[in-house]
């Protein structure tokens, strides 16, 4: 199963809104279709959003027949930048593509188009490698026979490679360190139930789904030894934006003395932001909350909140598993060290 594929100037995107019922690909011939797929969450998860945006920008360039390719690509990048605001990987990928354009302005349009496509392929390959590295580093935090809880979907569908949090879980299972996985259904769009369940079943990993409001029960009964989740954006002090509900899980884990880990590539860090409250949180259409299985579940006139993410403060996090190793508390100090080491 490949979550995306680039073939003959077409970007194929496995439509995650149709899983697990149907394995259907959306064919993107135009960059607008890529933006639409991101907005409608046909493709979702922080790392893959960046990869898909890079291909979308390359696709726009390849299809352009006008006389000012550089300005056009910048306009397109602006459109991608407002597709989903929280995952910083999107902006990381746009910046990489912008660098290619800005440093090669003097090349012919056809040469520039080739370079843009090469950069998108490079970003894809790098994300794959990063998620393999995270999966391997993560083994260190797993006790023997571990029972683990995760939230949302952080697997191959979200990352190209094995995954971040789910990558650690898959590798832990392969190495005999994990005995059971609990995962939340993840309302309102059920990325846990539909996508994580689908990936775990494909790998034959013993798994139990719980509804989002069962986390307190599961942790109080000591059914799990640790929690691992992904991230959409991590600030300099180690605050983490991730799928709505993550913050509640972190508080419950803290109360019950259960380690709470985050797994994310360095491309999920936003070194421009200090505090979690600075992270822009995507507000989605309230209809997603007001309905279930395409059926309205409230009386007419009832309103609903629909923030897609929340922020977990650094104090609640036991460690961040990255593609460069594990960052332990004090997170602020150690993130600063990593930034300096990587010269970012």
For the CB of residue 20, give the shortest distance to ligand MRU in the complex, in Å.
15
For the CB of residue 163, give the shortest distance to ligand MRU in the complex, in Å.
6
Comparison of 147 and 194: residue with beta carbon closer to ligand MRU:
194
Residue 44 annotated as binding site: yes
Instruction: List binders of ligand MRU among 216-245 (CB under 6 A).
Output: 230-232, 242-243
> Under the phi-then-psi rule, with left for phi > 0, alpha for psi from -120 to 50, and beta for the rest, what region is 341?
alpha
Q: Which residue is nearest to ligand MRU (CB)?
A: 230
- What is the residue whose two structure tokens read 């979702």? 44
Residue 153 annotated as binding site: no
Residue 243 annotated as binding site: yes
Comparison of 76 and 230: residue with beta carbon closer to ligand MRU:
230
Task: Report the SS3 class of residue 320.
Answer: strand
Cα(28)–Cα(160) distance, integer angstroms: 18
Pairing state between β 260-263 and 319-322: parallel
Pairing state between β 146-150 and 178-184: parallel
What tokens were used for 233?
């954006």
Comparison of 73 and 173: residue with beta carbon closer to ligand MRU:
173
Instruction: List binders of ligand MRU among 265-324 (CB under 6 A).
Output: 308
Among 11, 26, 35, 46, binds ligand MRU (CB under 6 A): 46
- What is the residue whose two structure tokens read 């997170």? 331
Instruction: List binders of ligand MRU among 173-192 (CB under 6 A).
Output: 191
Comparison of 117 and 141: residue with beta carbon closer to ligand MRU:
141
Comparison of 113 and 170: residue with beta carbon closer to ligand MRU:
170
Q: Active-site residue numbers?
A: 232
* Under rule CB under 6 A, residue 83 binds ligand MRU: no
Residue 242 annotated as binding site: yes
Find out whether 196 and 163 touch, Cβ atoms under 8 Å: no
Residue 46 annotated as binding site: yes
Residue 7 vs residues 26, 27, 79, 93, 230: alpha-carbon distances, Å = 13, 10, 23, 20, 29
Cα(314)–Cα(153) distance, integer angstroms: 21
Residue 104, burial from CB neighbour count under 10 angstroms (0-12, 13-18, 19+): middle
Question: Which residues are known binding-site members?
Answer: 44-46, 84, 191, 242-243
Contact residues toward ligand MRU (CB under 6 A) are: 44-47, 87, 152, 154, 158-159, 164, 191, 230-232, 242-243, 308
């Amino acid at each position: 199963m490949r979550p995306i594929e680039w073939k003959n100037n077409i970007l194929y995107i496995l439509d995650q809104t149709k899983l697990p019922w149907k394995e259907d690909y959306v064919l993107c011939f135009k960059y607008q279709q890529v933006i639409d797929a991101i907005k409608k969450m046909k493709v979702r998860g922080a790392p893959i959003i960046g990869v898909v945006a890079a291909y979308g920008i390359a696709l726009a360039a390849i299809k352009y027949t006008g006389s000012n390719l550089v300005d056009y690509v910048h306009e397109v990048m602006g459109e991608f930048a407002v597709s989903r605001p929280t995952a910083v990987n999107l902006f990381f990928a746009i910046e990489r593509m912008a660098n290619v354009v800005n440093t090669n302005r003097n090349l012919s349009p056809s040469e520039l188009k080739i370079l843009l496509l090469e950069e998108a392929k490079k970003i894809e390959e790098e994300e794959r490698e990063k998620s393999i590295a995270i999966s391997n580093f993560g083994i260190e935090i797993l006790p023997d026979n571990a029972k683990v809880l995760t939230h949302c979907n952080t697997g191959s569908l979200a990352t190209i490679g094995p995954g971040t949090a789910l990558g650690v879980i898959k590798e832990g299972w392969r190495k005999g360190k994990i005995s059971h996985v609990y995962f939340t259904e993840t309302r309102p769009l059920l990325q846990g139930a539909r996508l994580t369940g689908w990936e775990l079943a494909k790998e034959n990993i013993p798994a139990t789904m719980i509804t989002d409001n069962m986390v307190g029960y599961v942790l109080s009964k000591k059914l799990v030894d640790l929690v691992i989740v992904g991230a959409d954006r991590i600030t300099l002090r180690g605050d983490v934006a991730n799928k709505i509900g993550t913050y509640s899980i972190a508080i419950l884990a803290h109360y019950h003395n259960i380690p709470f880990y985050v797994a994310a590539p360095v491309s999920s860090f936003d070194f421009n932001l200090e505090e979690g409250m600075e992270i822009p949180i995507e507000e989605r259409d309230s209809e997603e909350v007001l309905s279930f299985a395409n059926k309205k579940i409230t009386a007419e006139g009832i309103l609903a909140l629909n923030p897609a993410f929340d922020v977990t403060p650094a104090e609640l996090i036991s460690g961040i598993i990255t593609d460069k190793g594990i960052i332990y508390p004090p997170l602020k100090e150690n993130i600063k060290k990593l930034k300096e080491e990587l010269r970012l």
